[in-house]
Every structure is written in structure tokens, then in C-alpha cells.
Amino acid sequence: MAGLADDWEENRQVCIDVLCAYLRMPYEPDPGSDAPTPQRLAFQAIREVRHTVIRVITAHLRKGAPTSWQGLHFDFCGVVFDGGDFSFAQLSGGGLEFQGARFCGGEVSFRYTQFCGADVYFRGAQFSGGKISFDHAEFSDGWVNFYEVEFSGSEISFADARFSGGKVEFGSEFAGGTISFTGAHFSGSRVRFSMA
């Protein structure tokens, strides 16, 4: 599907929509080590495909990608993330929607990701497990919305993140886990914690 998106520019968004739709399919949690072998293998296979889709999308958003998917829309609404690597992506224009997504385990990395002029919505997302890193991420000239997000069990880090222009809103519920802004830089951006 990614190859088709690369070759079919006028319908690239449609191909990306299909990839994102795969991630939005119903998620079956890890059955555990006591589950029958076929059930464990099926979970591992589906999980690997899901993580591969994330890697393919991210590869097209990194600097130097042979075919760039910059400025397009990525709909991750309701997706369950039990890991995934978005690090070093450069998001200029377009949008990412994580509304209602659940981050429930593993490690999800947005390290060194540049949110420059893109609108990113985490509204209503749940961070209930695992580790999520926005370390060294850059937020500028866009809108990043963490409104009505529940931080209840994850380890979340914005260490050394840079907020320079644009708007970031954290009208969220902090009820457990840890969230760190160690070494974060705020200059010229509007960062709000109203209703937190």
C-alpha cells in the first residue's frame, strides 16, 4: 500500500487513509504467556504488522525520504498503541489526529520529532501504561491539543522539548504515572494548562 501511495500522487491520501484504517481496527490485547500457542502467535503477528505500518508512515515523514508524505492527514483516532516509533519525523502542515487513542504499553517515541506548522490532536486520548517520549521534540507554529487527555499510568517525558511559537494546550487530567518537562524550553509559544 505504501508503494502504491508513492507511485500514485493524486490518490496518495487515499492510500494513507487505508494504512491508518488498519491501525484503527479492533485491538485484541496480549493474551499472556498462558494462552495457547496459536493465540500468542496470532497476537504477535498482528502486532508486528501494526508496528510496521507505523514505521513505514514515519519513514515517509523523515528528512531525506525518497517520497515525502508531508502535508497530508493521518487519522489515528481511537488507535491502541502498545509501542511504535515516530522519532525524527518532520511534520510541516497537514495534521495528525490521535483523538481517543490509547497508549497502554510498550514504548512510543516522538523523540526529536518536529511539529512545525502541523495541527496535532490528542484530545480525549488515554495514557495508561508504557513509556511515551517527546524528548527533544520541537513544537512551533501549529496547534498541539492535549485537551481532556487522561494521564493515569504512563511515564511521559518532554525532556529538552522546545516550544517556540504556536499553541499547546494541556487541559488534561493527571491522575497517576509521571510526566516530566525537565529541561524544556518555552519561547514565544502559548502553552496552557487551563482546566487541568
| 84 membership: H or E segment, kind and range | strand 84-85
Query: What's the start-to-end Cα distance of the chain, in Å?
Result: 40
Under-50 pLDDT residues of the chain:
none
Report how far apart, in Å, the C-alpha atoms of 80 and of each of 44, 60, 91, 163 are: 15, 21, 21, 27
Distance between CA atoms of residues 79 and 47, nearest Å: 13
> What is the pLDDT at residue 101?
95
Q: Taking the CB of residue 178, how many other CB atoms lie within 10 A of it?
A: 12
pTM: 0.90
